[in-house]
Amino acid sequence: MTCRVRFAPSPTGYLHVGSARTALFNWLHARSTGGTYVLRIEDTDAERNRSELTDSLLAELEWLGLDWDEGPFYQSERRDRHREVVEDLLVRGLAYLCDADNHEVAGSTLVDGLAVRFRMPAAETVAFEDVVRGEVSFSSDDLEDFVIWRSNGSPMFLLANAVDDADMGITDAIRGEDLLSGVPKVLLLLDAIGSPRPTYAHLPLLVNERRKKLSKRRDDVSIGDYRARGYLPEAMVNYLALLGWGPPDDVEVRPLAEILELFRIGDVNKAAAFFDLKKLEHVNATHLRALERGEFLERVAPWVGDAAPWPTESFDPVKFSTMAGLVQEKLRTLGDMPRFVDFLFLEDPVDDPESWEKAMVKGVSAAEILDGAALAMADCPWEPQALIAAVSEVGESLGLKLGKVQAPIRVAVTGRTVGPPLFEAMAECMERGEVLRRIARARARL
RNA sequence: GCCCCCAUCGUCCAGCGGCCUAGGACGCCUGCCUUUCACGCAGGUAACACGGGUUCGAAUCCCGUUGGGGGUGCCA
């Protein structure tokens, strides 16, 4: 039998990294087993029933490449069906009306202003086999009668969730562990309406450095923010797959298509996983480096366009693409690009105090180096090897190796100690006059 | 409080009773390469929470302790 899974987010206006991981695992499970992946928006709460809140959610899922087969279905549009189930439960005495003080009110039909609670059976053990956790069981005695229908005439999450899973023929419910303790209630509900129970798989939570569930207040949880900072969707999805799961061959950085081949929902871990930005950066940098030149240029384009820290009109795409090849392997995110090339498009290089301190103040013989370089570079051929030779000569006369001599020149020309290969950048993308002007400018500031 | 879940290097993942003197990755440190940074290469650092069992044999199974987390709404 082929499976049917669903990703059922509540619209919050953005896609949470934890939700993205859940969506990914559902997608992987469906795609690797030939199943069907359903998208359902759980917006039973009126507050969340606003289209702009779901638009970004869908856009981010698409960005990640997690396409769905059916939906999106909106829970808010299924209210009549939910009402029908609640009324049936009421008639059968499995649920009862209750007022704001939680007092039972007699009656077997819905009444405006009254909520409905599911009647918890006594002394019943509710057990199920979780695909990642094994057997989990609860006693109904520890559970309260819970609200399934609000006094304002809308269904509660647990009811809508159970009914929709049943109606949509969901066979595998894959979701976060924070929903684990709600399972017995859903199971009882499912039993009450005579629907088969789906198989559950509760994924370990994603936590922060303090081992707490990722929260939007303290942590960077929005997929959209990572996107804006220059993370690639393939890297994001790759890293997310590594939280709670690992490939059997230990090859961690790889395309989604390969992960799809190796993924087994039953291999997922039970323990919570720390969302490690350092590792995400590593995965991203690796994917970035693997991009072909043309592809890379297309992907960074947004970061060197209107949002870039230089006047749009001074941008030179030819210089940029020449330089891009030299810095592609140095980036961790696409967002790193501007600071590697800004010196080419700014009137004067940025003034990075730390770099200045390091190369001009603490560095040895900055003045002599700049003077010597200005002289040597004034008439040598304008090509990398000639520049290296000229500068090396200056260095020799001062007893310094190339690595040391280039530092003040780099800071004078680019503003920073970190950047693309200096001599290539100067020879291929800058005019002699401009380079000399910047060296003189820096010399004057010493 | 009550219920549920979890527990291998700082972090993520491997290990599913003997192949473990516990493996890989990120991070960190050292060296090499070197026009900075990065990449690459060669090394290094570092873990089975604790206590009882079961077994010829336990990181692997069971129980307890401790620690951590989640849930406990007319939110989802």
Q: Provide ipTM, 2 decimals.
A: 0.96
A36/A217: higher pLDDT: A36
For residue A98, give the nucleotide whose C1' atom is nearest its CA: B74
Q: How confident is the model at residue A48 (pLDDT cuts 50, 70, 90)?
A: low
* Percentage with pLDDT > 90 across chain A: 90
Q: How many CB atoms lie within 10 A of CB A341?
A: 26
Residues 353-382 of A with CB within 7 A of strand B: none
Residue A45 above 80 pLDDT? no
Given this model, what pLDDT does residue A46 score? Answer: 65
Q: Å from A136 (CA) to B70 (C1')?
A: 14
What is the pLDDT of chain A when averaged over all its residues? 94
- Kindly determine whether the C-beta of residue A150 is less than 7 Å away from any atom of nucleic acid strand B: yes
* SS3 of residue A64 by DSSP: helix
- A43, with CB counted inside 10 A (0-12, 13-18, 19+), is buried
CA-CA distance, A261 to A246, in Å (whole number)?
A: 12
In this predicted model, what pLDDT tens digit does every residue of A281-302 receive, in sequence order?
A: 999 999 999 999 999 999 999 9
In this predicted model, what pLDDT tens digit does every residue of A12-22 receive, in sequence order?
A: 889 999 999 99
Residue A113 above 90 pLDDT? yes
For residue A279, give the nucleotide whose C1' atom is nearest its CA: B26
Residue A49 above 70 pLDDT? no
Q: How confident is the model at residue A217 (pLDDT cuts 50, 70, 90)?
A: confident
Tell me what the mean pLDDT of segment A318-346 comes to.
94
CA-CA distance, A34 to A28, in Å (whole number)?
A: 10
Given this model, what pLDDT does residue A365 score? Answer: 86
Residue A349 above 80 pLDDT? yes
Cβ-count burial A61-86 (b if 16+ within 10 Å, e if not)? bebbebebeebbbbbbebeeebbebb
For residue A424, give the nucleotide whose C1' atom is nearest its CA: B35
Q: Which nucleotides of chain B does any protein CB come within 7 A of?
A: 2-8, 10-16, 23-27, 34-40, 68-76
Cβ proximity of A169 and A238 under 8 Å = no
Given this model, what pLDDT does residue A71 score? Answer: 84
Q: How many CB atoms lie within 10 A of CB A92?
A: 12
Q: How many CB atoms lie within 10 A of CB A317?
A: 11
In this predicted model, what pLDDT tens digit does every residue of A130-189 receive, in sequence order?
A: 999 999 999 999 999 999 999 999 999 999 999 999 999 999 999 999 999 999 999 999
* Percentage with pLDDT > 70 across chain A: 99
Q: Å from A186 (CA) to B74 (C1')?
A: 17
pTM of the full structure: 0.94
The pairing of beta strand A199-203 with beta strand A172-176: parallel
Given this model, what pLDDT does residue A94 score? Answer: 96
DSSP strand E in A319-440: where? Answer: none
Of residues A177, A170, A148, the one with CA closest to residue A82: A148
Q: What phi and psi, each to the nearest 5 degrees, are found at residue A298?
A: -65, -40
Given this model, what pLDDT does residue A362 score? Answer: 85
CA-CA distance, A430 to A77, in Å (whole number)?
A: 61
- Kindly determine whether the C-beta of residue A282 is less than 7 Å away from any atom of nucleic acid strand B: yes
Cβ proximity of A328 and A368 under 8 Å = no
Given this model, what pLDDT does residue A355 score? Answer: 93
